[in-house]
Amino acid sequence: MERLTESVKALVSSYEDYGLINHFNGPNLPSRESIEGILADLDAILFPGFRENELPDEESLQLTIAERVYRTARKLANEIEKSLSFSCRTNNFTCEGIGCRTMAELIVEDFFSQLPEMRRVLSLDVAAAYRGDPAAKSIEEVIVAYPGLQAIAVHRLAHYFWVREVPLIPRMMSEIIHGRTGIDIHPGATIGESFFIDHGTGVVIGETTVIGRNVKIYQGVTLGALSVKKDEADKKRHPTIEDDVTIYSGATILGGKTVIGRGSVIGGNVWVTESVPPDTLVYVKTGEHILRPKER
């Protein structure tokens, strides 16, 4: 065990040489453990009664939700303050002269004002899953069991913070749920109402993807970029999926200029790098990609 002393010295030296350590001076970064706890609290606020052993009675529901909202808001404001302070310190963000704490509290207040609308949109996502999957026996089953819904719910939360330009936290949220579900949705992606991911494992949706309403995708679908060059980070690199499109398992759709037209169906294992007209069926036959009008 004598060599452990030398190992400790070498490790401390590596912190100085290579960095990759949280900050000695100034605020720490947001805590992954805290963000995981906040996501659990937000999930219970969005879907009350589905994660607890029992739901409070009607008379105490408002008090229970109020307590949970205030507690979660305090925790969220603390983590956002850390995130803003980090970004201000690296000159990537400014808190507009009001201070990081005040800015964090304003963001949190606005965020909670948006939750009723998020619940409306999520109710449409739940209905789309129930309607779109013959195996779904009830709305309740979708809420308690479907990883696609879990990933979409967290995405809608993370996307709010992405739009508000909150550093770090949106990516932390998306990667936490990615680890749980195998569904990788970048918080920058724009996703319309009534979105359904069936099965879900291996789905990848890139940062600048735009998805319309009533879109259904299956496991292994990639909505990605043709190029991963760093100097193209600020360009639209990922496809646009218009309303009422279905994309079957294993399909890969790439490119910021690629548009999948409304009502089209993309078959399994298809590779698409050019736009597809509305109401088109794309599938693979004898090694070739076939495009033909979809039967009505």
Whole-number pLDDT of residue 53:
67
Give the count of beta carbons closer than 10 Å to the beta carbon of residue 137.
Answer: 11
Give the count of beta carbons closer than 10 Å to the beta carbon of residue 228.
Answer: 10
Residue 51 zone, left/alpha/beta (φ > 0; ψ -120 to 50; rest): alpha
Rounded CA-CA distance 14/277 in Å is 55
Whole-number pLDDT of residue 49:
83
Per-residue pLDDT of the chain (296 residues; tens, 9 = 90+): 778 888 888 888 887 878 777 665 655 789 999 999 999 999 999 998 887 766 667 778 888 889 999 999 999 999 999 999 887 776 666 676 688 899 999 999 999 999 999 999 999 999 999 999 999 999 999 999 999 999 999 999 999 999 999 999 999 999 999 999 999 999 999 999 999 999 999 999 999 999 999 999 999 999 999 977 777 777 899 999 999 999 999 999 999 999 999 999 999 999 999 999 999 999 987 666 777 787 76
Strands 246-247 and 216-217 come out as parallel
Whole-number pLDDT of residue 20:
73
In 3-state terms, what secondary structure has residue 198? coil
Whole-number pLDDT of residue 39:
97
Rounded CA-CA distance 184/177 in Å is 8
Whole-number pLDDT of residue 167:
92
Strands 280-285 and 288-293 come out as antiparallel
Instruction: Enumerate the H helices of 191-272 as residue ranges.
Output: none
Whole-number pLDDT of residue 244:
98
In 3-state terms, what secondary structure has residue 168? coil
pTM: 0.89
Q: b or e along 232-248 (b: 16 or more beta carbons within 10 Å of the residue's beta carbon)? A: eeeebbbbbbbbbbbbb
